[in-house]
């Protein structure tokens, strides 16, 4: 049982979503040790009472539960499996929870290596973007051993409202790939619908009022289409990270012998935007492809 008196939580990664999630853990009364490559990104959290760590190594030594949310699978591998990483320096009986969207095969490898050292590792990628992180309404998809999930579920519940155990190590990441595949084609449809409405001479905001509550309704239509119309392309989720996710999903689909034409098209469109300098924009910037 994790209590605010006996548990020190580590968190590696203070990006758009991670920063909000760490804030929820602080609000719940937990002692928090944070690390990111740039200390300035953690300044708000430090002002709220979090403790700074100089490396993942230091986080591992000071914490019994460690969350990670970094950028790419290469970052995950370095943080967990590097010489100064979490597994090499983690304490027996610790819990590691990776919330990065990463490769399922890497999640399996991390779980195996962690188990050798008496550490329980869970893959728990999320969906819900910056809004879900701020409001603690994320959907959290969990892979790992059932008993480990049962033990950390109260902590995950501080970050999301839809926390679902999907199965063995890697299952959380496979579920996130399903999520990203659904979003990829949906984003094309959302953008085409808005552009079509504009070219037809309609008021696109009024069109949204009709179609967002009908059969076409989706999270992207409700949350990202209004941002498109307002010219707000700030990242709730970076294009560069979405391209990374789609690359993982394409590789996994290929290994399963599955064709994914919708995903393939979406990645090609986002690749073109990235080549034009939009890699740090939010995924709703796909709207600019037609503009």
Active site residues: 176
- Residue position matching structure tokens 């070219």: 199
User: CB–CB of 245/262 below 8 Å?
Assistant: no
95-98/65-68 β-pairing: parallel
Residue 138, token pair as written in the block:
């994320």
Please give the DSSP secondary-structure letter assigned to residue 291.
Answer: -
**Hey, what long-range contacts does 229-233 have (CB within 8 A, 24 or more apart)?**
229/194, 229/204, 229/205, 232/282, 232/284, 233/278, 233/281, 233/282, 233/284, 233/285, 233/287, 233/288
Cα separation values, 221 from 94, 95, 109, 189, Å = 40, 37, 37, 9
User: CB–CB of 64/120 below 8 Å?
Assistant: no
Residue 83, token pair as written in the block:
């010489």
User: CB–CB of 93/100 below 8 Å?
Assistant: no
Taking every pair of C-alpha atoms in the chain, what is the biggest distance, in angstroms? 64
User: CB–CB of 176/127 below 8 Å?
Assistant: yes
């Amino acid at each position: 049982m994790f209590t605010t008196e006996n548990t020190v939580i580590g968190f590696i990664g203070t990006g758009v979503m991670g920063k909000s999630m760490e804030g929820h853990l602080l609000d719940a009364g937990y002692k928090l040790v944070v690390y990111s490559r740039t200390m300035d990104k953690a300044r708000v959290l430090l002002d709220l009472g979090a403790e700074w760590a100089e490396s993942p190594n230091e986080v591992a030594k000071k914490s019994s539960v460690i969350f990670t949310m970094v950028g790419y699978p290469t970052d995950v591998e370095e943080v967990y499996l590097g010489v100064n990483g979490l597994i090499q320096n983690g304490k027996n009986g610790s819990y590691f929870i990776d919330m990065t969207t990463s490769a399922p095969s890497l999640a399996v490898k991390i779980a195996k290596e962690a188990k050798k050292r008496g550490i329980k590792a869970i893959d728990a990628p999320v969906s819900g973007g910056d809004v879900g992180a701020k409001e603690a309404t994320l959907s959290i998809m969990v892979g790992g051993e059932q008993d480990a999930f049962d033990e950390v579920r109260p902590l995950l519940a501080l970050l999301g409202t839809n926390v679902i155990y999907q199965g063995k190590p890697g299952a959380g990441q496979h579920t996130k790939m399903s999520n990203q595949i659904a979003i990829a084609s949906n984003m094309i449809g959302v953008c085409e619908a808005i552009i079509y409405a504009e070219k037809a001479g309609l008021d696109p905001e009024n069109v949204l009022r009709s179609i967002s509550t009908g059969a076409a309704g989706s999270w992207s239509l409700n949350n990202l289409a209004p941002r498109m119309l307002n010219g707000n392309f700030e990242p709730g989720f970076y294009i560069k990270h979405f391209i990374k996710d789609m690359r993982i999903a394409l590789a996994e689909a290929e290994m399963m012998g599955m064709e994914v034409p919708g995903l393939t098209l979406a990645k090609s469109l986002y690749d073109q935007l990235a080549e034009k300098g939009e890699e740090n924009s939010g995924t709703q910037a796909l709207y600019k492809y037609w503009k």
